[in-house]
């Protein structure tokens, strides 16, 4: 019988999980990865061709469920989404689903209006509000994954401080995005 090996302890007392560098166990190490994945899923799902009748069904469902009246509505909606993204385990899956359904909604609206959906998605992603939102969602999702690593490595209590700072940063990014978005809509509607 061989001796049982204990998991090696590396960076700041964390256990070595699957050979990932310790930096990838943190929100800042995961942040570029989650932003990239979130953006990629959004762009791919927005480029899925839809039949016009299905696109109209999606458009009806989306427009019926979204009635934002101003800055506070946009901000609280986006903040609620980001808070769910920060939940360990569940949050990352929710992030992917959220990004995908948003992309499909863009595809539906583009189909109805006979626009190239990928071009519309790239333009939305490139707006100041889009950039701020995707950065906020990427950071929230990264925090959720970092929380998962912290739970596995039995250091979740230390990670709670990270959750507070992430919530403050994400909230600030989303408030700025909501402000830019509502100002842009107000200009567009004039």
For residue 157, the Cα-to-chain-centroid distance in whole angstroms is 24
Q: Which of the residue ranges 29-43, 110-124, 143-157 would you say has the lowest mean pLDDT?
A: 143-157
pLDDT in tens, 18-58: 566 777 778 899 999 999 999 999 999 999 999 999 999 99
pLDDT reported for residue 11:
46
Q: Identify any residues that bridge with 15 across adjacent strands, giving them in sequence order.
A: 9
Query: CA-CA distance, 143 to 185, in Å (whole number)?
Result: 31
65-75 pLDDT, tens digit per residue, is 766 678 899 99
What pTM was computed for the model?
0.83
Residues 6+ apart with CB under 8 A from 59: 105, 108, 109, 112
């Amino acid at each position: 019988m061989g001796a049982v090996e204990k998991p090696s302890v590396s960076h700041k007392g964390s256990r070595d999980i699957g050979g990932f560098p310790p930096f990838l166990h943190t929100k800042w190490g995961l942040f570029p990865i989650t932003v990239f994945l979130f953006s990629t899923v959004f762009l791919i799902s927005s480029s899925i061709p839809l039949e016009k009748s299905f696109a109209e069904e999606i458009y009806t469902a989306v427009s019926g469920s979204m009635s934002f009246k101003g800055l506070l509505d946009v901000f609280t909606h986006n903040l609620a989404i980001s808070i769910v993204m920060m939940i360990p385990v569940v949050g990352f899956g929710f992030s992917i689903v959220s990004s995908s359904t948003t992309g499909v909604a863009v595809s539906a609206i583009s189909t109805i209006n006979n626009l190239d959906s990928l071009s519309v998605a790239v333009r939305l992603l490139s707006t100041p509000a889009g950039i701020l939102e995707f950065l906020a969602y990427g950071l929230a999702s990264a925090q959720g994954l970092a929380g998962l690593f912290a739970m596995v490595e039995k250091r979740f209590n230390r990670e709670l401080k990270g959750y507070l700072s992430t919530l403050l940063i994400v909230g600030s990014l989303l408030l700025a995005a909501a402000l830019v978005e509502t100002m842009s809509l107000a200009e567009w509607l004039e």
